Amino acid sequence: DTAVSQTPKYLVTQMGNDKSIKCEQNLGHDTMYWYKQDSKKFLKIMFSYNNKELIINETVPNRFSPKSPDKAHLNLHINSLELGDSAVYFCASSQGGQLEQYFGPGTRLTVT
């Protein structure tokens, strides 16, 4: 009965590879987000989708491409991984117009 789930939980890969992280929410929310928490623990918004439409796109390299096949899913694809992409990536969801966001458990990405 997990509200916001992410897969995988851990991802170790080499520089230059392409990888995807998946996120699903079963709360019926219409808005989903991706956040990045770097090694210094700064947690920053990357993208936000509302009803499958991109509404926030912070300054993120275009190697990062979010995809929302439906309102319950927001996946993050990363091309040509770099060492600096190593971080914990959190997915979250909310109902539009509501303040509270519900977070997934995070995906720890390590690029070697």
Partner 1 sequence: GEDVEQSLFLSVREGDSSVINCTYTDSSSTYLYWYKQEPGAGLQLLTYIFSNMDMKQDQRLTVLLNKKDKHLSLRIADTQTGDSAIYFCAESGGSYIPTFGRGTSLIVHP
48 interacts with partner 1 by CB under 8 A? yes
Residue 16: count of CB within 10 angstroms of its CB: 10
53 interacts with partner 1 by CB under 8 A? no
Nearest distance in Å: CB 71, partner 1: 18
Of 12, 56, 65, 82, the residue at the interface with partner 1 (CB under 8 A) is 56
Nearest distance in Å: CB 103, partner 1: 3
| Token pair in block for residue 83 | 């060492």
Query: Looking at beta carbons only, is 13 or 95 nearer to partner 1?
Result: 95
Q: 78 to 107, contacts with partner 1 by CB under 8 A?
A: 90, 92, 94, 98-106
Query: Looking at beta carbons only, is 15 or 55 nearer to partner 1?
Result: 55
One-letter-per-residue 3-state SS of the chain: CCCEEEECCEEEECCCCCEEEEEEECCCCCEEEEEEECCCCCEEEEEEEECCEEEEECCCCCCEEEEEEECCEEEEEECCCCHHHCEEEEEEEECCCCCCCEECCCEEEEEC
Residues engaged in binding partner 1 (CB under 8 A): 4, 33, 40-45, 48, 56, 90, 92, 94, 98-106
